[in-house]
Amino acid sequence: MLTQIVSKNACERIHDKANFAALTLEPFSSAGVLLSEIIFVNRFGKIIFVMAFFAALFAVRLNAEPAVVAAVPAPAEAAEPLVSQIAPTLFHLGPLPVTNSMVCTWIVAALIIVIVRLTTWRMKEVPGTGQNVMEALIEGWEGLMGNVLEPKVVKWVFPFAMSFFIFIVISNLTDLLPGVGSIGMGHADKTSPLPFAIEHVTKPFFRPPTTDANLTVAMAGIFFVMGLYWALKYNGPFGLIKHVFGVKVETNKWLYPLLLLLFIFIGVMESFSILFIRPVALALRLYGNIFGGETMLTMALSQKPWWFAVLVAIPGYFFEVVVCLLQAFVFTMLVVAFVGTLCTHADEEHGH
Amino acid sequence: MMLGELTGNIHIGLAFGGAAIGIGIAAAGGVMAIGRNPGAFGKVFTTMLIGMALAEGLAILAWIVIK
């Protein structure tokens, strides 16, 4: 069914009632309980889940801050970089320091909750504009995941990866808004005729959430835990060990011990990749791309003759739009692909 | 007599040069594959993007982690 969804054109896909019903109602209506009740429980559960997610984010960020600060040393040659790698603290909320990227994270989260609630509060069979956009987004992603994963695993991974995608897209795009990263406290500019002009912003009020390594490390950590959980759920503990270390080719009994040694060696390298390289690279790729883009835009806009700044910044903005969308896509797609490598049957690979 | 001087973080330049070569190869392969079989656009494009991201990720690792 998933390949059918992909092969149809967009208009048919959106108005196909059968697929729509299968997507939204099938998993719930089979239990035989009243539909309205289920939708209420479902929404209530989702709200609790979102709250728990933010609580976890909060806790992880609280703990992650010193570690990341230690791991990412500030560049030595620049006394005051254009955009600092550490998000500056705006104010303290009890014992908890609130940084500008945290404020921006909350704004983005509130925005997402409001938009999704407004567009899907009253679901109609013939969708309006907002519902149309959300459905196209979700069905497109379900088709993409269906290419990589089995239907059973899609059902586990889909809500997780989809929330990541929406959250990262909106967080990345705040990078491009005027005022984010440029309005704040800093050294006063005496030569400017404007009353509150600032030469160089050291403490901006808003900072794009994904330019803070704490957020991306926290997201990669959540993916790491959930990925291992899904791998264990799919394969079982012994199945997982067999999947990573086992012999994956057909062989006779004379070659078997030799191949077993080889595959154990491969398994050690693969488990190093699973346990360390994948989450770290996932976190740092997103952080590095968006932080680099933010630095590039700030650098371009602080060139001295104003026409030169505009000349440099306009291509930069076009490039950043592409990078922001692409990095969100890549993060989500890599999460799906990593889960896909762990949640497949080794038997099926014998055919080719 | 000194003709030139190299300072700064050369490893970052080398890492990003390597990443750029890798991304270029991935893009070239993707364009060729789509040209031969336009029907497989979605699958080829997704795989190409993942390959590009993996190539680029190492360069960013070099940029941020190695000092």
How high is the pLDDT of residue A218?
93
**Cβ–Cβ < 8 Å for A217, A286:** no
pLDDT under 50: residue ranges of chain B:
none
Query: How far, in Å, are A57, A88, A205, A283 from residue A62 at the CA level?
Result: 8, 14, 19, 17
pTM of the model: 0.73
Yes or no, beta carbons of A281 and B57 under 8 Å apart: yes
Of the candidates A6, A285, A287, the beta carbon closest to that of B56 is on A285
pLDDT under 70: residue ranges of chain A:
1-47, 49-50, 53-81, 346-352
Say which residues have a Cβ less than 8 Å from residue A91's Cβ, sequence separation at least 6: A98
The DSSP symbol for A322 reads: H
Helix (H, G, I), strand (E, B) or coil at A176: helix
Helices (H) and strands (E) in chain B, counts: 2, 0
Q: Length of chain A in residues, anyone?
A: 352
How high is the pLDDT of residue A77?
42
Closest CA in chain A for residue B52: A330
A347: tokens are: 């038997």
Best residue in B16, B46, B54, B63 to probe A by mutation, most A CBs within 10 Å? B46
Per-domain boundaries in chain B: 42-67
How high is the pLDDT of residue A32?
47
How high is the pLDDT of residue A38?
54
**Cα(A176)–Cα(A297) distance, integer angstroms:** 9
Evaluate the CA torsion angle A48, A335, A275, A72 in order and state its sign: negative
How high is the pLDDT of residue A15?
47
How high is the pLDDT of residue A122?
78
**Cβ–Cβ < 8 Å for A133, A119:** yes
Closest CA in chain A for residue B54: A281
How high is the pLDDT of residue B49?
85
**Cα(A5)–Cα(A264) distance, integer angstroms:** 40
**Cα(A246)–Cα(A175) distance, integer angstroms:** 45
Yes or no, beta carbons of A71 and B61 under 8 Å apart: no
How high is the pLDDT of residue A270?
86
* Phi and psi torsions of B57, nearest 5°: -60, -40
**Cα(A28)–Cα(A242) distance, integer angstroms:** 34
**Cβ–Cβ < 8 Å for B60, A288:** yes
Say which residues have a Cβ less than 8 Å from residue A86's Cβ, sequence separation at least 6: A69, A72, A74
How high is the pLDDT of residue B29?
95
Of the candidates A6, A71, A285, the beta carbon closest to that of B60 is on A285
Instruction: Mark out chain B residues that contact chain A at CB-CB < 8 A.
Output: 8, 42-43, 46, 49-50, 52-54, 56-58, 60-61, 63-65, 67
* Phi and psi torsions of A186, nearest 5°: -175, -160
